[in-house]
Amino acid sequence: MFDFTKQVILPNSLQKKYQVARAILHLFFLFIIVFIAYEILFPIVSLTFSLDNPTSKTNNLIMPVITRTNAFPENGKLLANDTLLDNANPIGQFAKADVTLVKGKNGKSIDNAKVEISRSYQAFRYPLGEPVGFKDGTLLTTATDGAYYIVSDGKLRKFSNTDIILKFGYPKDAFITVQASDLKYNQLGAAITNNDTYPADTLFVINNNHYQLQDGKLLPFVSTQAFLTNFDNVAAIAKNDDFFASYPASEQMLGFADGTLVSIDFAVYIVSELKKYPVMNPETFVAMGFNWDDIIAINQNEISIYEKQKQFTHDDPHPNGTIFVDQKTSQHFIVENETKRPILSDPIVKTYSKQKPVLANLEGLEKGTSCTLKKQLFNANSFTCSLPLDEMTTFPGNDYQIKMTSPVDTTLNTISLTFSTPVTPNNMMISLGKIKAKIINR
The whole-number average pLDDT for the span 132-145 is: 94
pLDDT, mean over the chain: 89
Percent with pLDDT over 90 in the chain: 70
Write the CATH number of the domain with boundaries 46-113+373-441: 2.60.40
Least confident of 67-76, 255-264, 393-402, 422-431: 422-431
pLDDT of residue 106: 83
Q: What is the pLDDT of residues 380-418, one digit of tens each?
A: 899 999 999 888 888 999 999 999 999 999 999 999 999
pLDDT of residue 442: 57
- Is the pLDDT at 27 greater than 90, yes or no? no
What is the third-level CATH fold of 139-245? Answer: TTHA1013/TTHA0281-like (3.30.2390)
Q: What is the pLDDT of residues 359-380, one digit of tens each?
A: 999 998 988 899 999 998 888 8
Q: Give yes or no for a contact between 351 and 363, defined as CB atoms under 8 angstroms apart.
A: no
- Is the pLDDT at 432 greater than 90, yes or no? no
Closest CA to 46 of 57, 60, 28: 60
pLDDT of residue 144: 87
Half-sphere exposure of 111 (CA within 13 A, CB side): 9
Q: What is the pLDDT of residues 163-196, one digit of tens each?
A: 999 999 999 899 999 999 999 999 999 999 999 9
Q: What is the pLDDT of residues 266-309, one digit of tens each?
A: 899 999 999 999 999 998 999 999 999 999 999 999 999 999 99
- Which residues in 221-259 are b (16+ Cβ under 10 Å) and which e? bbbebbbbbbbbeebbbebeeebeeebeebeebbbbbbb
Secondary structure letter of residue 405 according to DSSP: E
* C-alpha angle 423-426-431 in degrees, rounded to nearest 5: 75
Q: What is the pLDDT of residues 79-115, one digit of tens each?
A: 999 999 999 998 877 888 999 999 988 889 999 999 9
User: What DSSP string describes 106-161?
Assistant: TPPP-TT-EEEEEEE-TGGGSPB-PPP-PPTT-EEEETTT--EEEEETTEEEEBS-
The DSSP bridge pattern shows strands 296-297 and 323-326 to be unpaired
- Is the pLDDT at 124 greater than 90, yes or no? yes
Domain range summary for the chain, segments of one domain joined by +:
9-41, 46-113+373-441, 139-245, 260-279+288-351
Percent with pLDDT over 70 in the chain: 90
Q: What is the pLDDT of residues 308-358, one digit of tens each?
A: 999 999 999 999 999 999 999 999 999 999 999 999 999 999 988 788 899
**How far is CA 351 from each of CA 231, 232, 235, 335, rounded to the nearest angstrom?**
7, 9, 12, 15
The whole-number average pLDDT for the span 144-152 is: 93
Q: What is the pLDDT of residues 38-62, one digit of tens each?
A: 555 556 889 999 998 999 989 988 8
pLDDT of residue 265: 87
